Copies of this chain bind each other. A is one copy, B any other.
């Protein structure tokens, strides 16, 4: 495999793991590794969509709120409207996709800067997520549903983690080995060049936001299973974590650069940091200081390294 783009963050991740392994005897174990995977599932699924959005030169601030709306929609459809849960799950994902469609249309047709388009969608969807149940959470999903997140089959992966891994692989292959995926990089590099090269920039842009929305919907189902409830406050502020993960993974906010492998490393860096700091028992305030510093260090390391080349 080509480590070109991800060598920097990978080294960072390894250093981090070594540090925590030395600082806490509990860090280095299969079980903790599985815990970390568990804990990053939602962030990771969101980060897949964010990677694509960032590759085309956009940004999506709405992922957290869209997650909340999808989650509430699923819960509401299952509990209040009385649909079978699997149907509600699918409609939850569809809700996310619909939100993505709105963002995509705002960016392409209304020509809003992605930052503003998704900021608006963020506010609206958070409002809707709350309106649905007047701010109440929805609880009491069947056991089979929560088991998706909690039972580790064959002692390893839960269904949600498996979904996360599979989505990562699909997205990785898509961005690297499908013409459509490669076209996203061209769009991010220079939309006019891409258009002249015969790429339907608008369509791809819209579809990318739709995909990011749908993935937020999948993340919502995952989180509902993990928490055994739907909460209108879910995913508050997670957009910044998601963007940080993608950028730590080597993507450029200017567009045209990024990879799913890098994003996975970025997600793991954040996941390992949180988990490790909890294991070491660092207070939440000090955690913020450490996390901020590590993010700066990881990206500085990467950009300075790239610049020296």
Contact = CB atoms under 8 A, between A and B. Distances in A.
A247 interface: yes
A291 interface: yes
A46 interface: no
Contact of A126 (B112, B117, B288, B303): B288
B288 A112 contact: no
Interface residues of A, number: 49
Contact of A289 (B128, B247, B253, B300): B128
A296 B110 contact: yes
A304 B126 CA distance: 26
Given A120-B296, A127-B287, 15 more contacts: A106-B300, A110-B296, A110-B300, A112-B296, A113-B253, A113-B299, A115-B243, A119-B240, A119-B292, A120-B293, A123-B291, A124-B288, A124-B293, A127-B285, A127-B289
Interface of A: 61, 106, 110-113, 115-117, 119-128, 130-131, 134-135, 237, 240, 243-244, 247-248, 252-254, 284-293, 295-296, 299-300, 303-304, 307
